[in-house]
């Protein structure tokens, strides 16, 4: 018998696979996002452990389900169009990391400006981040910018999803926790 997550995601095109929290626990709950436009199904499905199932206000769900532990906590299956995913990345982590706000550009997210800010930050950090999360984020932002310039927004959001995961490493370093999560 398929799990609740498999039932809810069946026959829909996945546009992004994201990791929104660093947690070693297995998910025991599945949170559904709001309806995905005019079609059936939720915009996203978030798999969360008990500690995170109610503690993520930036991912408000319309319904929660008990689920077996087949996914790691923090995994999100995202079914939204790429333009909405770009906005989600801006809202959830990229604006906080770079200070670049889409409303300054008429509501359009400008990846190149975020990339510029991150490159400057890497230069300021010098060798202190060589091989660290910021270096990885800058590399993947370059790929996201290049992909977006070529019109491949799907590849751009894939690169941004990887950046989102790496950005969590910056948070733990800032908090003084250097242990892998």
Q: Which domain holds residue 55?
A: 4-78
Regarding whether 92 and 160 lie in a shared domain, the answer is yes
β pairing state of 29-32 and 75-78: unpaired
Regarding whether 153 and 140 lie in a shared domain, the answer is yes
Q: Which of 44, 78, 112 is the last residue of a domain?
A: 78
Regarding whether 168 and 94 lie in a shared domain, the answer is yes
Regarding whether 58 and 119 lie in a shared domain, the answer is no
Regarding whether 47 and 95 lie in a shared domain, the answer is no
Give all strands of the β-sheet with 75-78 in edge-to-edge order.
16-19, 75-78, 44-48, 29-32, 63-66
Regarding whether 24 and 97 lie in a shared domain, the answer is no
Regarding whether 32 and 111 lie in a shared domain, the answer is no
Regarding whether 102 and 73 lie in a shared domain, the answer is no
The string of pLDDT tens digits covering residues 74-125 is 899 999 888 888 888 988 889 989 998 877 776 566 888 999 999 999 988 7
> What DSSP line would sit under 66-100, residue for residue?
E--S-SBTTEEEE-S-HHHHHHHHIIIIIHHHH--
pLDDT at 69: 62
pLDDT at 138: 94
CA dihedral 97, 163, 36, 73 (to 10 degrees): -100
Q: Mean pLDDT in each 10-residue stretch from start to end of the chain (181 residues)?
A: 64 85 86 74 85 74 67 89 88 89 72 92 76 89 93 92 89 42 28
Identify the three-state secondary structure at position 142: helix
pLDDT at 87: 86
Q: What distance in Å separates the CA atoms of residue 139 and residue 131, rounded to the nearest whole number?
A: 11
Q: Which of 62, 78, 94 is the last residue of a domain?
A: 78
pLDDT at 10: 60
Number of domains in the chain: 2
Residue 181 domain-assigned (yes or no): no
Regarding whether 57 and 126 lie in a shared domain, the answer is no
Regarding whether 170 and 89 lie in a shared domain, the answer is yes
Residue 18 domain-assigned (yes or no): yes
Asked if 31 contacts 53 with a C-beta cutoff of 8 angstroms, the reply is yes
Identify the three-state secondary structure at position 110: coil
């Amino acid at each position: 018998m398929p799990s609740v997550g498999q039932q809810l995601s069946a026959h829909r095109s996945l546009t992004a696979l994201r990791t929104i929290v660093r947690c070693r626990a297995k998910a025991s709950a599945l949170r559904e996002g709001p309806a995905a436009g005019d079609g059936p199904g939720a915009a996203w499905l978030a798999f969360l452990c008990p500690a995170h199932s109610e503690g993520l206000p930036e991912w408000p769900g319309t319904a929660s389900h008990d689920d077996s532990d087949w996914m790691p906590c923090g995994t999100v299956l995202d079914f939204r169009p790429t333009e909405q995913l770009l906005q989600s990345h801006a809202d959830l982590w990229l604006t906080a990391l770079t200070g670049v706000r889409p409303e300054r550009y008429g509501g359009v997210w400008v990846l190149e400006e975020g990339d510029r800010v991150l490159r400057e930050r890497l230069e300021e950090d010098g060798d202190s981040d060589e091989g660290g999360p910021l270096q990885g984020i800058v590399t993947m932002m370059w790929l996201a910018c290049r992909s977006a310039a070529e019109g491949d927004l799907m590849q751009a959001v894939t690169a941004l999803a990887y950046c989102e995961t790496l950005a969590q490493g910056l948070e733990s370093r800032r908090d003084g926790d250097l242990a892998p999560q």
